[in-house]
Amino acid sequence: MSVEQGPASSRGAVGGVVNKSGERVRQMFGEISARYDLMNHVLSGGTDYYWRWRTIREAPPRGKAPVLDVCTGTGDLALAYARACGPEGAVIGADFTPQMLVIANRKGQRQQAGGQHGSLVFVEADTQALPFPEGSFQIVSVAFGLRNVADTRAGLREMLRVCEPGGRVVVLEFSLPGNRLLRGLYQWYFRNILPRLGQFFARNNQGAYNYLPDSVGQFPHGAELAAIIRECGASEVRYLPLTFGVATLYIATKPGQRPS
């Protein structure tokens, strides 16, 4: 699970629409960076580990071209891809919140000291304007980040641009369970339990935990998000609901032949 919250002062829904301006999102993640991992694992009951494992299993690296993980945050998916790539691999994690990258770097150095993989670097970059040439990566992934990008389509187009022909764009994102009863329970948990747990662990202001349910509720999922990914230039998109549809994994292919 990916958990975000921010002080009430920065929570702003603009005219009922979640405010995702870069400045606001960067400030929010900067403020919670130190507690992000703990909150993630606790509030998801550890399901986030399974979701990342499943992502790598469904979209494993093939060959030696590098992998890019955007909106990498504290770097967990980039670290998982680095382990999957092995000692010959190269992985870049990119995010626009420097405080999240400090933690990602620390974790990367620890993992690299354990000799578990090849090159892993973290860079500060906006997903809507990635500083990489076209066709550079075999996989461009994003976990629980696309929903936070101010312009979803601009983010997806950039991800597809830097992906090599025949390569894959992988999106792991929250969704709402298809079953009405489960969806009701999930939304109740999001609105009533998660904010209290969040307050307890992060000692934050009351009412500071609305961004997550608001942003999930307003973000497209399933067939709708798959259609948007296709519209942005993917040739083929398959999607896989995980854990009763609480999260969905989308695997898209960029048109063309992979370079040999």
Ligand X SMILES: C[S@@+](CC[C@H](N)C(=O)[O-])C[C@H]1O[C@@H](n2cnc3c(N)ncnc32)[C@H](O)[C@@H]1O
Residues at the contact surface with ligand X, assessed by CB under 6 A: 2, 4, 22, 25-26, 29, 40, 71-73, 76-77, 95-97, 100, 126-128, 143-145, 148-149
Q: Token match 């022909």: residue?
A: 165
The residue among 147, 143, 127 whose CA lies nearest residue 225 is: 147
> Closer to ligand X at the Cβ: 84 or 149?
149
For 62-66, the CB contacts below 8 A with 24+ separation are 62/138, 63/138, 63/258, 64/88, 64/89, 64/90, 65/136, 65/137, 65/138, 65/164, 65/167, 65/259, 66/90, 66/91, 66/92, 66/136, 66/137, 66/138
Instruction: Determine which helix (DSSP H) or strand (DSSP E) holds 67, and give its type and residue range.
Output: strand 67-70
Compute the least distance from the CB of residue 235 to ligand X, in Å: 25
> Closer to ligand X at the Cβ: 81 or 239?
81
Compute the least distance from the CB of residue 18 to ligand X, in Å: 12
> Closer to ligand X at the Cβ: 29 or 132?
29
E-only strand ranges, 80-183? 90-95, 119-124, 137-143, 163-174
Compute the least distance from the CB of residue 196 to ligand X, in Å: 20
Compute the least distance from the CB of residue 2 to ligand X, in Å: 4
Helices (H) and strands (E) in the chain, counts: 9, 9
> Closer to ligand X at the Cβ: 4 or 164?
4
Compute the least distance from the CB of residue 160 to ligand X, in Å: 15
> Closer to ligand X at the Cβ: 6 or 145?
145
**DSSP structure class, residue 193:** I
Compute the least distance from the CB of residue 172 to ligand X, in Å: 7
CA 175, 161, 234: angle at the middle one, nearest 5? Answer: 50
**DSSP structure class, residue 257:** P
**Tokens of residue 31, six digits:** 């403020």
Q: Are 102 and 175 in contact (CB under 8 A)?
A: no
Compute the least distance from the CB of residue 30 to ligand X, in Å: 8
> Closer to ligand X at the Cβ: 126 or 164?
126
> Closer to ligand X at the Cβ: 69 or 236?
69
